[in-house]
Amino acid sequence: MPAPAFAFPPCRSHDLFWRLEEYPAVLQRNPADEVYWLKWDSSFSGDAIVRVARIGTDVLVSRQHRSSRFGKLRSRSARLTMSDWSRLEDAVVAANFWMLDERIMRLGCDGADWLIAGCRRREYHLVKRWSPDDLLFDVGRLMFDLAGLDEVRL
């Protein structure tokens, strides 16, 4: 049985505490049972990075958000409930995330680049999209809501 998330020492080199913006590169080494990472980079509305990780029954969310290109970077971490995690799993399954192709489509100048990565049981997947409007949008919206960014317009 894995150790609870809060049993890990606060070591800067530990994967759980890796800088969020560098996270896709180390996602595969994460000690979590399952983890999802979203980077949202809007043309005009700032940017954000959200990570939701589950270790056993502990669920953690971390985020960084800047409301404009030159705004102040604000960070936050919190614990979530297993029902929050279940909602995220349901959204991931509904979007068929693990079967989506990795690609990026640029269709305009007003929108956002989305990078969503996931790792479970050492299986890694990365998806790149330009302002998705399908069920992948629902995954991103839910991740934003869980991170306390429900006021951000995606």
In three-state secondary structure terms, 1 is: coil
Residue 63 structural domain: 5-146
Q: Classify residue 78: in a domain, yes or no.
A: yes
Q: Is the dihedral of CA 6, 9, 14, 17 positive or negative?
A: positive
Beta strands in the chain (DSSP E): 34-42, 47-55, 58-66, 74-80, 112-120, 123-130
Count structural domains, the chain. 1
In the structure, what pLDDT confidence band is assigned to residue 10 with cuts at 50, 70 and 90? very low
The answer to whether position 153 is within a domain reads no
8 A C-beta contact, residue 144 and residue 154: yes
pTM of the model: 0.80
CATH number of the CATH domain containing 44: 3.30.1560
Residue range 55-82, pLDDT digits in tens: 999 999 999 999 887 888 888 999 999 9
**Taking CA 79 as the corner, what is the angle to CA 78 and CA 83, rounded to the nearest 5 degrees?**
135
